[in-house]
Structure 1
């Protein structure tokens, strides 16, 4: 075993130490996703999803299905440090087997949101509490197409979001 010094990068995550805090960021990874999607110069938006409607399974087929799936898959890895997009990415990924134009529009909306949050990350700080707290929520029959329910959760160790 060899001591490699302080941690700076780990699985495409940048780690910055500041006193007793660690900032985990995937800034370069987000830039790479935007570049791959051809959206480096897009206008940022304030929310990752249009809150007024749910995604439906209809509409014209996406011309580049492989590109859609590639970007959607890349966004799944991004949710490790950007928990705010986890639900929206999951909703887009539901249609990876048969992507339509409305799904591509939703994917582009997430990318526009990412353009505005490039400098944000996940802050982990030392905390005296080792208490494990779990919050969960369920949306019963929330999908207008299938009437399936959706659920979500957040796990905190002390003051730090860990899952």
Structure 2
């Protein structure tokens, strides 16, 4: 265990022992167990360039392909794609942290089940002025067709929002465009959508503007695409996105 002021790094060769130790700490103190991306990371640029920017670009460019099947990586990869032009040492360190997370979750995959439910539901969120370098917000959404996740996005907004309601409404507009395109695609495939799509938003101002259902921030699946989360919240949302171990899915299939 390494301790520096209020930062603690716990590691070991027995995962259960490490988890038990962290649980014991959390019982006595208020702690944050960080996921693949620290909740304090901002990625602002400075004058110190990366020793090997080509390596950084190749690494992050390769990670972009993983986001096609791993929505849990979308926010982190989007964050580091913003520094392709001038990567710094800290960005390379954090990008390699993503690699370590990927290595530890190689068995995760997006679970798609056959379903007769063609209801479209979308969870939409925005992190107002989350970037300290240009004060722009990051918007994100996840779209479900019945129980299956079929579309997601994490992207910095093009303009600066002057309020959280404005940033949320912009993100909502992008989500509506995606949902409209999906409905059009399903129509071309002769798939009938039984009801109007439902868009879930956790900002009351944006909700009043758009008259769509309000959802608690604790249940907002779009959070995983807009901001760093604690270990517990990250894994909670990751499971809600239907990312499961292939080994577990195979076992369930054999039981059935």
The TM-score with structure 1 as length reference comes to 0.69
Show CA shifts across 1:46-66 (max 9, x none): 722111231111262111111
Show CA shifts across 1:70-110 (max 9, x none): 11011111001110010000000000011001111110111
Aligned length: 121
- The gaps in structure 2 that reach 5 residues or longer are 1-12, 14-33, 152-256
- 2:104, 2:78 → 1: CA distance? 20
Report the counterpart of residue 16 of structure 1 in structure 2: none
Counterpart pick for 2:143 among 151, 155, 160: 155
Could you tell which deviates more after superposition, 48-57 or 86-95? 48-57
Q: Is the Cα–Cα contact under 8 Å of residues 59 and 101 in structure 1 kept in the other structure?
A: no
Counterpart pick for 2:110 among 94, 112, 122: 122
Please give the root-mean-square deviation of Cα atoms over the aligned residues, in Å. 2.0
Report the counterpart of residue 24 of structure 1 in structure 2: none
Higher Cα Rg: structure 1 or 2? 2
SS at structure 1 position matched to 2:35: coil
- 1:67, 1:83 → 2: CA distance? 24
1:50 aligns with 2:38: yes
Counterpart pick for 2:97 among 105, 109, 119: 109
1:64 aligns with 2:60: no
1:77 aligns with 2:56: no
**Greater strand proportion:** 1
The TM-score with structure 2 as length reference comes to 0.45
Report the counterpart of residue 94 of structure 1 in structure 2: 82
- 2:112, 2:140 → 1: CA distance? 21
SS at structure 2 position matched to 1:92: helix
- 2:142, 2:72 → 1: CA distance? 11
1:143 aligns with 2:131: yes
**Greater helix proportion:** 2
- 2:123, 2:96 → 1: CA distance? 29
- The gaps in structure 1 that reach 5 residues or longer are 1-42
Question: Which aligned segments of 4 or more residues in structure 1 are displaced greater than 6 angstroms?
Answer: none
Shift, 1:119, TM fit:
0.9
Q: Is the Cα–Cα contact under 8 Å of residues 57 and 100 in structure 1 kept in the other structure?
A: yes
